Amino acid sequence: MKTRYLIASVLAALVASGCQKETTSTSTGSTGSAPPSSTAPAVTPAAQAPAAPTPAAPRVIEITGNDQMKFSVTNIEVKVGEQIKVVFTNIGQLPKEAMGHNWVLLKPGSDVNAFSAAAMTAREKDYIPDSLKDQIIAHTALLGPRKSDEVTFTITAAGEYPFLCTFPAHAMAGMKGVLVAK
C-alpha cells in the first residue's frame, strides 16, 4: 500500500512538473500574460537600445548585374577596417547557364583578365577555381536570373582591389570594377 502511494505521488509530481514546464514556456511566448509591472520597465531600456547596436552593422552596398553584362556599380570606396556587406542581385532574365553572374573581389595587384581566363575552365566550380582562391578576398555565389546573394568582409589594408564577374568572357565585356580602400 505504502509503495503504491509513493508511486502515485511521484507520478503526480512528474505530471505537476510537466504542467509547470508547459506553463512556463507558454508565458514566455506570450508577453501579454506577463504582469504589467514587468512590462513597464522593459520599455525603458528598449527606448535607449537603438543608439547602441547601430555602429556594429556593416555598410550595405547593393550591386546588380544584367543581361548586358554590366555591373550597376564599378567604383566602390571604403574605409580600411570598415565592415562592408555587398548585396549582389542578378536582375537579368537569361538562364544561369548562358548568363550567370557573380561578384568576386580580388587582392590588390591581381590580374583581372588572367583570373577571368583561368576561371573559364572551372565551370563545375561556378567559375571559382580552387587554384585561384588565394587571390580572392570575398565572393558571392554564381546567380541565375532574379537571384540574390550577399557577402560581408572587412578590408584591412589601403589599396585598389579589382572585382569582376568570373562567368566566361564577362570581365572582358566590361563586367568588372575597382574597390578603393583608404
Kindly list the residues in this chain that would bind Zn ion in the complex (CB under 5 A).
Answer: 101, 165, 167, 170, 175
Residue closer to Zn ion, measured from CB, 58 or 178? 178
- Indicate the residue among 85 and 96 with the shorter CB distance to Zn ion: 96
Provide the minimum distance between the beta carbon of 32 and Zn ion in the complex, in angstroms, as a whole number: 51
The helix/strand/coil state of 7 is helix
CB 92, CB 101: distance < 8 Å: yes
Q: How far is the CB of 170 from Zn ion (least distance, A)?
A: 4
Among 56, 36, 45, 74, which residue's Cα sits nearest to residue 170? 74
Whole-angstrom Cα Rg for the chain: 27
Question: Under 8 Å CB-to-CB from 60, ≥6 apart: which residues?
Answer: 85, 87
**Measured from the CB of residue 155, what is the shortest distance to Zn ion in angstroms?**
23
Q: What is the rounded distance in angstroms from the CA atom of residue 107 to the CA atom of residue 159?
A: 9
- Comparing CB distances to Zn ion, the nearer of 103 and 153 is 103
Least Å from the CB of residue 89 to Zn ion: 12
- Residue 73 or 159: which CB sits closer to Zn ion? 73
